[in-house]
Amino acid sequence: MRYVDPLRAGGSVPGVVETDDLGTYVVKFTGAAQGRKALVAEVIVGELARRLGLPVPELRLVDFDPAVADGEPDPEIQDILRASRGINLGMDLLPGARDFRPGLIDVDPVDAGRVVWLDALTGNVDRTVHNPNLMVWHRGLWLIDNGAALVFHHRWSAAEGSVGKRYDLSAHALGGYRPDVRLADEELGPLVTVGLLEEVVALVPDAWLADEPGFDSVGELRRAYVNHLAARAVLSAEWLPEGFSTPEQLREAERRRAARTRAARPAWLREVPDLHGKPSVETVWEHHFE
């Protein structure tokens, strides 16, 4: 019904939108650079998390008409909106919510372990100290932005070989809270059944799954998602995170990353500071160990 404002902090430039159910949602658009697969991951991971008891804002499909955003002055955002006519993904706006940062609230090791376990299962390597993708609302932790998960679906030809892959979660946003991932595996692993996965994957609109190379039908692609995640849940002993980096290790990794970035620049740019705007690892982590 009304396009309120773009959220420029996100790489996909989602927008705050008011809809005809009197709700206000953060809408991620199919025309954004991340494409439809990011929305597929949002639905599958978000709804799986909800059914496992993790806090995720309500997800709704939003039928978007670009005409409601004619007043948006940014031409690049207008390009995204015009390419997003039809069904997009809305996440319930949490009024007054704040971005998570270490020290803002206490996080129990059991709760931290459940989040880390979910991210390990779904291959979500984008919930880091630099980019937590967590919100604090009514003193509770809420999971947002799961679009970077399910990395296997970007290359289905190699998906089978990654079923037992251990992803690097050493810089996870909750790594400083002693996450009990083994307890989470004992409690949540048996709940990830084929039936549950079928229920979750069925929520993805057909249009977001159409024309995937290597698959003869949308139904076949849905089964591939279910089979991959079901097989991965059984192999948890192979991918459970084994540990999390200390602040010193993260600082050293950041130093090496910065050095590689400088080395890749032309000579005349190598002395220009990194202006990506992210806080240093030391700044982010110091609250963990005060």
| Residue 270, pLDDT score | 63
**Cα 212 to Cα 217: distance, rounded to the nearest angstrom:** 8
pLDDT above 90 as % of the chain: 77
132-141, 200-209, 280-289: least confidently modelled range:
280-289
- pLDDT band, very low/low/confident/very high, at 290 (cuts 50, 70, 90): very low
| Residue 263, pLDDT score | 77
pLDDT beyond 80 at 265? no
Q: Are residues 207 and 285 in the same domain?
A: no
Q: Are residues 91 and 106 in the same domain?
A: no
What average pLDDT score do residues 50-72 get?
A: 96
| Residue 247, pLDDT score | 65
C-beta pairs of 260-266 under 8 Å, 24+ apart in sequence: none
Q: Which of 63, 97, 131 is the last residue of a domain?
A: 97
Stated as kind and residue range, the H or E segment containing 106 is none
Q: Are residues 88 and 106 in the same domain?
A: no
As beta bridge partners, residue 16 has 5, 26
Q: Are residues 44 and 146 in the same domain?
A: no
Q: Are residues 75 and 91 in the same domain?
A: yes
Using alpha carbons, select from 251, 40, 221 the residue that is nearest to residue 146.
40
pLDDT beyond 50 at 183? yes
Query: CA angle 47-50-54, nearest 5°?
Result: 135
Using alpha carbons, select from 88, 231, 106, 232 the residue that is nearest to residue 147.
88
- pLDDT band, very low/low/confident/very high, at 22 (cuts 50, 70, 90): very high
pLDDT beyond 60 at 182? yes
φ/ψ (deg, to 5) at 272: -80, 130
| Residue 271, pLDDT score | 65
| Residue 255, pLDDT score | 75
pLDDT above 70 as % of the chain: 88
| Residue 31, pLDDT score | 94
| Residue 262, pLDDT score | 73
Q: Which of 67, 97, 127 is the last residue of a domain?
A: 97
> Around Cβ 208, how many Cβ atoms within 10 Å?
19
Q: Are residues 229 and 258 in the same domain?
A: no
26-30, 45-49, 91-95, 264-268: least confidently modelled range:
264-268
Task: Report which residue type is found at 34.
Answer: Q
* Domain carrying residue 49: 2-97
Give the total number of structural domains in the chain: 3
C-beta pairs of 216-223 under 8 Å, 24+ apart in sequence: 222/198
Q: Which of 239, 257, 277 is the last residue of a domain?
A: 239
What average pLDDT score do residues 244-265 get?
A: 72
pLDDT in tens, 91-102: 999 999 999 998
| Residue 285, pLDDT score | 40
Q: Which single residue is written with the structure tokens 């089979």?
A: 227
- pLDDT band, very low/low/confident/very high, at 246 (cuts 50, 70, 90): low
Q: Are residues 168 and 269 in the same domain?
A: no
The whole-chain average pLDDT of the chain stands at 89
Higher pLDDT among residues 286 and 127, named by residue: 127
| Residue 274, pLDDT score | 56
Q: Are residues 217 and 255 in the same domain?
A: no
